[in-house]
Amino acid sequence: MITDATQAAGIDVNVPCGGQGRCGRCAVVVEQGNVRRRSTMRLSAADLEAGYALACQTVVESDLEILVPPQEEITRHLTTEKTAAKVSVPFEYDWRVHSTLTKHYLEIEPPNLADNTDDLARLERELAKCCDIRGLYAPLPILRTLAQTLRNAEWHVTVVIDRGGECPRIVDILQGDKTETLYAAAVDIGTTTVTLYLVDLYTGEVVETAADYNGQIKRGEDVISRIVFASKGNGLVELQSLVSNTINKLADRACARRKCKSHDIYKMVIVGNSTMIHLLLGMPPEPIRLTPYITTINHPPLVLATELNLNIHPQAPVDCLPGVASYMGADITAGVLSSGTHHTEKVTLFLDIGTNGEMVLGTNEWLVSCACSAGPAFEGAGVFHGMRATTGAIEEVWINQKTHEPTIRVIGGAKARGLCGSGLISLIAEMFITGVTDKGGNINLSLPTPRVRTGEHGPEYVIAWANETAIGKDIVITKPDVDNLLRAKAAIYAGYVVLAHSVGMTMNDVEQMLIGGSFGQYLNVEKAIEIGLLPDLPWERFHFLGNTAARGAYMALLRKDAREEIAEIAKKMTYLELSADNSFSDQFMAALFLPHTDMMQFPSVAKVLEGKEEEPVVSSQ
Amino acid sequence: MITDATQAAGIDVNVPCGGQGRCGRCAVVVEQGNVRRRSTMRLSAADLEAGYALACQTVVESDLEILVPPQEEITRHLTTEKTAAKVSVPFEYDWRVHSTLTKHYLEIEPPNLADNTDDLARLERELAKCCDIRGLYAPLPILRTLAQTLRNAEWHVTVVIDRGGECPRIVDILQGDKTETLYAAAVDIGTTTVTLYLVDLYTGEVVETAADYNGQIKRGEDVISRIVFASKGNGLVELQSLVSNTINKLADRACARRKCKSHDIYKMVIVGNSTMIHLLLGMPPEPIRLTPYITTINHPPLVLATELNLNIHPQAPVDCLPGVASYMGADITAGVLSSGTHHTEKVTLFLDIGTNGEMVLGTNEWLVSCACSAGPAFEGAGVFHGMRATTGAIEEVWINQKTHEPTIRVIGGAKARGLCGSGLISLIAEMFITGVTDKGGNINLSLPTPRVRTGEHGPEYVIAWANETAIGKDIVITKPDVDNLLRAKAAIYAGYVVLAHSVGMTMNDVEQMLIGGSFGQYLNVEKAIEIGLLPDLPWERFHFLGNTAARGAYMALLRKDAREEIAEIAKKMTYLELSADNSFSDQFMAALFLPHTDMMQFPSVAKVLEGKEEEPVVSSQ
């Protein structure tokens, strides 16, 4: 394939679908030589005439000259980095009691002929005396420098110990008293965004937050595309290195702000969905994609930073938290912890919508969960003018009931470039409520406005005219876009219902709904209910918790009992494989409407549609 | 130094003294360019005029052209390899009960939608069912191939498990039933010779033995020289790689004979003196050489073959057995185990003379030990015509009482090239008994034979005339040679006495003397007593056990309780640092005579000297 050649040549060609020939974004122009196009999906006859070929689907049959068009830069404008900076210590914390990672300054008795105890045993003796730490494990790299360090330091050293594993382990030995600082990091590897909290383990505070796009995006926008990419050639190694580079960049950035070094980070706790964890650990994720969807391991062992090419301290333990199944990863178990779902007596529905949609229903006594392959529609993918929530994205839309003219709000106050997830939800809700579409999402072409028309892809609605945009083209939403979004929201809603039914409940039994994931932060509850993405519950039952995954990792980093609690949650949680559930597809079909086939489930929306004055919503229990 | 330049250029220049400028064997000819000679020891005026310089002591001051004379090849003729081949299983052994390393063939239930347990947990479940193995640890390299292996093998796999550490660890997973063989190795790293036993863990038998010179010899013949070499530039890395290459070569050789692969060796137990173990593990040994003689660690942790560049299975655990002190290593603790010193009710003196002389006095209730820096005199070093016990070495000498003409026996029946350790002992004893030397080791130049004469190095005795040798030169023993040997044997004898005194005993209290080390095999007790190297005890109290160190490693490999016993021995054994002992130098001075100043300690020798008919020796208790 041409992609193999460009990779070998070190030329970057983005393959957002992972090289499946589905997205069309790897198109290049063949200027010289012979190729065989296995697929030309997304290429027009004109494209083919102009020499375009999909790099991931085109076999090289001779020496070639190809033109690689400029690759889309992934814009760095992450609101998470700005908004997540304030994370407070979530519980009682005393590093001496709770932290598995500790530093100890020791003044060791130098040896003499009458006491020729070996170096490590001298250090152990002192550590037992001062801090009651016994049964120490010293890895080979530490032993290789121990003699020199002790002697150069004249036997006054600072020992960094981690007690997260089977026995206390030496992470580093520093000359002199270096106990002033003690840093660790909690990391959430999202399919789209990676977030790192730099934590001062003495106070327990998050002292810096850094976030950026997962460097793997250019090799696939969703988990399936990544898995496909990983299964080809050197793909797994490349994806491993891309994500560790992203983490390294974030660590460097956070440490630079804190005026310390990445090397000072002595421990890392990581969460992510199971595919992200497999890719980070370099484990082939292929069986996650194929039925019956099996991970290599749900409870990964502690590994060392150096094994993952992380440039924090090479001997730093890296703790990837446990998940439950291929599509129920550590991001959710950690989210359950930080949301408190497992501690409340209220029937709680915990939802994390990111690139996937995972949800957990439960109380302090039981937990059931499922995952919906919603796809990345709410992250702007699979929608013609979809984009991520960065500058230029339309994040909210209002449509005039009479004129059907839209009013839009754009991130950064700039000219519009496209629509992000919250903008899409708001747009579809408004289109539905104002009659631009019917229940089935069909655009009403008979409305007396030029905004509705038939375009290249069928019926469409124009949100912004070319001259109002930054892209010089009309920004539209098409029937295929609406269908995509309907499928995504239907999958999620069907998930709620199947989950509730599995424990003999209905959605009305849900006493609180906790929403995690950065996407939740921008979700307008009213609009989300109007399209049937959220259940029609009283608004006060919804709580938006932000990045519950990162917060759970942070809690596990601070206290060993919290770490153990996540393992308990993972063990206790029942996972419902929806593809093995008979009722899921019925529920999915029923939810493929705005807001739902069964309007009884959406009384508040029914009222709005009836044109009634909206009354305060009352619990339907 | 020139040695740095030759090393960088990949040219081999032997430095048997480790680069201390003491041995003179790294001499090269400077043909062009400027150098500064820091030392010219062992070079004559004529040598200097001819351009000779010691490579390890000569500073490069310009571009140079140097001539490197042919380097001495270390001849491969190791009798150990041939004689040690028969090692029988030393105790009751059932691999299912005793071996920490085991193989298990599993037919694992493939996953399905109703049972999506992860790969590792499926394997663990099966292992718990079949063999009651729980709490498994799977290292990252295993996890990285697990999914593929299970699926390629259609879920029928052989798992290799080691239970030598804190928790059971997966060493390898093989497709299909591969339980037919199960190999491990026990290795003794001697300063001079490395010995490897290839063990069939099903039967417990040593199926192949391989031995060869330690590749480090060319970088130093004794431990001190090696430590000096290790402390310079890249020395430690080079010595680490030399010894692992030696082990690799032996493993390859043994496996080739057995028709298996080095990769099939799944565990290795290693013994050696503390310096050898430090060099193997890549830990700088410098503090072992400097007072107060401290090791980095006496009880090394389990490491992996891959960490040591050993080409057995990369995930194979490598267990370096525990020692006691810088000069009381695992070779001795393992030797105590295999000799049974720690189990007997008899007062036992266990002696291992190799390049060093270590000894342990004790019973099943107590153990005291010390080490004498005897130097490698008994391995032929520090003696002008000394050599190792290979083809051409004189191994036994008889001198005619009247004519003072010698009769010699040469290894391999060839022409003589020099004298090995047993030859030297036999020679000195004969010279003493026949009056060629006096008690002080002075050669009697007034004897009426051309065999005694004054040579370049003072008085000497000719053992073989030039035309009878393979080297075309007279083979002689000089006064400095005799002095060297006297110092070596005096150090060892003083060790016995100080050790016995430390527990309120004399040599007569020793009820048995167990001698380990390959050297012991060739020792003539009568001669060794005559020179005062062995105490004057009834002959039946001496037992020669061969390579007790390798045998101890082998026992520890077979049974975990034997492994634990060695750790117990190491903990229980008191180590006497002779350099901190006041009486040692007095005892050493007293032993610098043939056989000793105090002839009361050598009654049988006194009788021989009195010209009396030797009577059966009776215990002097």
The pLDDT of residue B172:
98
CATH domain B341-375+486-609 topology: Nucleotidyltransferase; domain 5 (3.30.420)
Output the CA torsion sign for A123, A125, A131, A134.
Answer: positive
Q: Please check whether residue A286 touches B, CB under 8 A.
A: yes
- 3-class DSSP state for residue A170? strand
B105 burial (CB, 10 Å; 0-12 / 13-18 / 19+) is middle
Specify the amino acid at residue A199: V
Of chain A, the end-to-end C-alpha distance in Å amounts to: 59
Does position A85 have pLDDT exceeding 70, yes or no?
A: no
pLDDT band at A314 (very low <50, low <70, confident <90, very high): very high
Euclidean distance between CA atoms B259 and A401, whole angstroms = 86
- Please judge whether A116 and B292 are an interchain contact, meaning their C-beta atoms are less than 8 angstroms apart: yes
Q: Could you give the CA distance from residue A128 to residue A241 in angstroms, rounded to a whole number?
A: 40
Q: Is the separation of the CB atoms in A2 and A36 below 8 Å?
A: no
The tokens for A71 are 């690759």
Kindly provide the ipTM of the predicted complex, given to two decimals.
0.89
Looking at the predicted structure, is the pLDDT value of residue B80 above 50?
Answer: no
Reference A108, options B275, B321, B294; nearest CA is B294
Q: For B152-168, what is each residue's pLDDT tens digit? A: 999 999 999 999 998 99
* b/e B124-153 (16+ beta carbons within 10 angstroms → b): bebbeeeeebeebbbeebbbbebbbbbbeb
Q: CA-CA distance, B21 to B17, in Å (whole number)?
A: 7
pLDDT more than 70, % of chain A: 95
Listed in order, the ranges of chain A carrying CATH 3.10.20.880 are: 100-175
User: Residue A405 pLDDT more than 60?
Assistant: yes
Give the pLDDT band (50/70/90) at residue B43.
confident
Report residue A118 CA to chain centroid gap.
Answer: 48
Could you tell me which of A357, A463, A377 has the C-alpha nearest to residue A416?
A463
Mean pLDDT of A432-440: 95
Residue B252: CB atoms within 10 Å: 15
A-B C-beta contacts closer than 8 Å: 128
Q: How far is CA A229 from CA A220, A271, A354, B121, B484, in A?
A: 7, 22, 20, 26, 71
Q: How confident is the model at residue A269 (pLDDT cuts 50, 70, 90)?
A: very high
Q: Which of A138, A140, A283 sits opposite B143 (nearest CB)?
A: A283
pLDDT value for A375: 67
pLDDT for the residue numbered B621: 41
Question: What count of other Cβ atoms lies within 10 Å of the Cβ of residue A44?
Answer: 11
Q: Which of A511, A500, A580, A460 is nearest to B114 (CA)?
A: A580
- The helix (H) or strand (E) run that includes residue B602 is none
Nearest CA in chain B to A116: B294
pLDDT given at position B299: 97
Contact A361, A369 (CB under 8 A): yes
A571 touches chain B (CB under 8 A): no
Residue B277 CA to residue B212 CA, distance in Å, equals 17
- Band of pLDDT at residue B617, cut at 50, 70 and 90: very low
Q: What is the pLDDT of residue B375?
A: 67
Q: Compare CB distances from B297 to A118, A284, A294 and report the shortest one's residue.
A: A118
Domain B2-67: homologous superfamily in CATH? Beta-grasp domain (3.10.20.30)
A109 touching B, CB under 8 A?
no
What is the token pair recorded at B620? 């002097």
- Stretch (H or E) spanning A4: helix A2-8
Cα–Cα distance measured from residue A530 to residue A533, given in angstroms and rounded to the nearest whole number: 8
For A113, which DSSP code? T
Q: Who wins on pLDDT, B138 or A45? A: B138
Each residue of B533-564: b (16+ CB within 10 Å) or e? bbbbbeeebbebbbbbbbbbbbbbbbbeebbe
**Residue A132: Cβ-neighbour burial (10 angstroms; 0-12, 13-18, 19+):** exposed
Contact B181, B259 (CB under 8 A): no
Proportion of chain B in helix, strand, coil states, percent, rounded to 5: 35, 25, 40
According to DSSP, the β-strands at B475-478 and B406-410 are unpaired
* Strand partners of residue A372: A357
DSSP state of A302: P
Calculate ∠ Cα A239-A278-A204, nearest 5°. 100
Residue intervals in chain B for CATH 3.10.20.880: 95-175
Q: CA of A123, closest CA in chain B: separation in Å?
A: 10
Q: In whole angstroms, what is the distance from residue B379 CA to residue B356 CA?
A: 10
In this prediction, residue A15 carries a pLDDT of 79
The yes-or-no verdict on residue A4 having pLDDT over 90 is: no
What percent of chain A is helix, strand and coil (3-state, nearest 5)? 35, 25, 40
**A119/B contact by beta carbon, under 8 A:** yes
For residue B276 the two structure tokens come to 């050898």
Tokens of A63: 């020496």
Residues 498-557 of A with CB under 8 A from B: none
Least confident of A75-89, A126-140, A143-157, A378-392: A75-89
Locate all alpha helices (DSSP H) within B503-597, ordered by sequence. Answer: 525-530, 548-558, 560-572, 582-590
Look at residue A137 in the predicted model and tell me its pLDDT: 96
Q: Which residue has the tokens 């500073």?
A: B59
Q: How far apart are CA B197 and CA B121, in angstroms?
A: 36
CATH 3.90.1170.50 fits A100-175, yes or no: no
Of A114, A167, A281, the CB nearest to B143: A281
Look up residue B193 and give its DSSP letter.
Answer: E
DSSP state of B62: S
What phi and psi values does residue B101 have, to the nearest 5 degrees? -95, 130
Question: Tokens in use for B384?
Answer: 């002008």
Determine whether the interchain pair B167/A166 forms a contact, defined as Cβ–Cβ distance below 8 Å. yes
From the number of C-beta atoms within 10 Å of its C-beta (0-12, 13-18, 19+), residue A135 rates as: exposed
Rounded Cα distance, A197 and A394, in Å: 29
Asked if B190 and B276 touch (Cβ cutoff 8 Å), the reply is: yes
> B135 — contact with chain A (CB < 8 Å)?
no
Contact between A301 and B579 using a beta-carbon 8 Å cutoff: no
Interval A494-546: pLDDT, tens:
999 999 999 999 999 999 999 998 777 778 899 999 999 999 999 999 999 98
Angle, nearest 10°, between helix axes A330-339 and A274-281?
Answer: 120
Does residue B120 contact residue A281 with C-beta atoms inside 8 Å? no
CB A138 within 8 A of CB A242: no
Closest chain B CA to residue A298: B118
Please determine, for residue B559, whether its predicted confidence score (pLDDT) is greater than 50: yes
pLDDT tens digits, one per residue of A16-69: 777 877 777 788 889 889 999 888 877 878 888 888 888 888 999 999 888 888
| A114 has a chain B CB within 8 A of its CB | yes
Structure tokens at A285: 């994720």
According to CATH, the topology of domain B95-175 is Ubiquitin-like (UB roll) (3.10.20)
pLDDT average, residue stretch B55-82:
71
Instruction: Look at the block and give the residue holding tokens 């991001």.
Output: A331
* Burial grade of A286 (CB within 10 A; 0-12, 13-18, 19 or more): middle
| Exposed / middle / buried, residue B512 (Cβ in 10 Å: 0-12, 13-18, 19+) | middle
Which CATH number is correct for B183-320, 3.40.1190.20, 3.30.2040.10, 3.50.50.60, 3.30.420.480? 3.30.420.480
Instruction: Compare CB distances from A281 to B111, B140, B148 and report the shortest one's residue.
Output: B140
Helix axes A274-281, A223-230, angle to 10 degrees: 30
**Tokens (6 digits) for A508:** 């009305």
Q: How confident is the model at residue B73 (pLDDT cuts 50, 70, 90)?
A: low
User: Which residues of chain B form CATH 3.30.420.480?
Assistant: 183-320
At A614 the pLDDT is 44
Mean pLDDT of chain B: 91
CATH architecture of A340-376+486-609: 2-Layer Sandwich (3.30)
Least confident of A37-46, A213-222, A365-374: A37-46
Nearest to B113 among A120, A292, A298 (CB): A292
Residues paired with residue B462 on neighbouring β-strands, in sequence order: B476
Q: Which two tokens stand for residue B93?
A: 């052994």
Of the partner residues B111, B143, B281, the one whose CB lies closest to the CB of residue A143? B281
Alpha-helical runs (H) found in A409-524: 421-433, 479-502
- Greatest Cα pair distance in chain B: 101
What pLDDT does B619 receive?
Answer: 47
Q: How confident is the model at residue A81 (pLDDT cuts 50, 70, 90)?
A: low
- Cβ–Cβ of A580/B114 closer than 8 Å? yes
Q: Which of A391-395, B70-74, B514-518 has the lowest mean pLDDT?
A: B70-74
Residue B614: what pLDDT? Answer: 44
Q: Give helix A479-502 / helix A421-433 axis angle, nearest 10°.
A: 100
Coil, helix or strand for B234? Answer: coil
Residue A612, pLDDT > 50, answer no
Q: Rounded distance, CA A146 to CA B284, Å?
A: 9
Interface check for A584 against chain B (CB to CB < 8 A): the answer is: no
Do residues A610 and A457 make contact, with C-beta atoms less than 8 angstroms apart?
no
Of B280, B281, B279, the C-alpha closest to B289 is B279
